[in-house]
Amino acid sequence: MFPDLWKLGQAYFSGELHVKVEPEKQTHFKRMVLAPIELLSGLLRAAILPHTLDRMSPLRTSYGMWPPQGLEGVGPWLPHCLRYIRSTYTSLIRLDLPNEALTIIASLIFDLRLHCMSTLFQQAAEHIKCLHKKETWHIEFDTKHSGITQLVTITH
């Protein structure tokens, strides 16, 4: 529906619809196009990146306050979210939207990538910290590897 709205607006302002074009409505149309993109970005940030929203902004409360204790379960879903947001961004690029609209989504993608990587590294660090509890340091000898512990089989 959004792509059709954008194409209709472009056809109207370029004079393809054979109606009288009112150029002063172009700013209103641009605002109408930017509003859902800003809303999408704000809602996604409120749900999975609340630390990226300005705490004092009146828009922050309109996006909703998600409970912080539910964010631990979001980690495995972050790559999926990133994939779908990037797909949305690709679709918006094809529409030849104004840079302002694309910048909103590009900023969201950057912040989500950064959050994904920091979450991934944090999980890896926690996993590495717990390895000493799993390792028995029992060395097995064989002809292929000489001496090896169970750590390799535990982690793979």
pTM: 0.77
Confidence check: pLDDT of 56 > 70: no
CA 124, 127, 132, 137 torsion-angle sign: negative
Instruction: In whole angstroms, give the CA distance from residue 132 to residue 134.
Output: 5
Residue 12: CB atoms within 10 A of its CB come to: 16
The per-residue pLDDT for range 57-80, each reduced to its tens digit, is 777 777 777 776 666 777 788 899
For 102-147, write each residue's pLDDT tens digit.
999 999 999 999 999 998 898 889 888 888 787 777 777 777 767 7
* 3 state SS of 95: coil
pLDDT in tens, 9-31: 888 888 888 888 888 888 898 89
What is the distance between the alpha carbons of residues 134 and 156, in angstroms, rounded to a whole number? 13
Q: Please state at what angle helix 78-94 crosses helix 26-48, rounded to 10 degrees.
A: 170
- Which pLDDT score is estimated for 55? 67
Find the helix packing angle between 99-129 and 26-48, rounded to 10°: 10
